[in-house]
A and B are shown apart, each in its own frame.
Chain A
């Protein structure tokens, strides 16, 4: 189990601080990290090692909680506890802050770019999710403020191919949003977790959503369209979501992040017990009741809580992780034989 995840290297990305989040650029050549030292760092390879190519330091007054690359790879958004979201434009190895999005009442917890590149979503402890539109002149405009959650919103993620947004919250639910006649509406609430939902990840097809929680479980939700074969009830023309699998008993503390590899379908988790785990779907399992097996478990992957895991979008099996210990680690995942 330990051999399935091999350490390639570690970097002290945010010394004397914690590293909160990582994001690979769409080309898979750069990794952005952000942390409690209020900085964003960009990492790239030089031979066999990972080196820091840029430091983005003048953007935020407080912790940078998440970063997200635009689909074209030319922009990076950073969400901060200072209640703002910075948009950085890449010019070779330099990054320039071109806009600062304001409006949230307190800490921004997450930012995500829609696959079209024209929309951005942010969420905050102020319980709201904001949808922003970007035009060709790099002008950002807030087009919707969604107040569906009753507590702190921890994470937002876009569907891989449709303009569908999902959010995870301290109120123990996951909500889904879509555009309806020029406005954004919440069309589904996924209940089941027994505590804060920390993160979300869509599978490569976008038909399933994985959520991870403080309740130490990962839940897999499946989308059912109206008039589906399985007879799952839908309200009007809205798809319905059902929990089709719960992974429990594997994690001994809060699960902070879940990442679904878009190349292989492998599911990685970042846990407060300092471990990284990988799950794979059993090939013979029923799509309506899938089963997942634990294929890698690395205890003490870091010396403290693991906050984020991120699969490289181009290189199969390449996984990055970061921790409260301030380090970023790179791993090679080998699917065990016989699975």
Chain B
């Protein structure tokens, strides 16, 4: 698949790669000596997946609604694990984030001849933070999200082929 929409190659890709390599190094350092239990493997897979998501979201920073939503989700998950009280604080931040993206939101779900509300809702489930986006934002964010996902896939795909 050709790539006419590549983001600035020196920034997003390299930021993502740098962060992800760093995270991977940390994960490798945690690797126990005998690690073939399926639980361990699953846990490591989860950690890698989270690291990939995190690296991507941090590389995009808060310039996008979806990356903000993803960062919030990741942070609140780790807060909840360490300290249940901070979860409440993150909740407030989340409301602020959501408010920012939804103040143009009043007529999201009109069904006056716009026959694709279902599909739009389905898309909202897939894109992080989508539930709060109006249609305009949703389409815009989705385009950017797709670009980032394809970047991730491109970077990962040589894995395991060696």
| Binding partners A and B | no
Residues of chain B whose beta carbon lies under 8 Å from any beta carbon of chain A: none
Residues of chain A whose beta carbon lies under 8 Å from any beta carbon of chain B: none
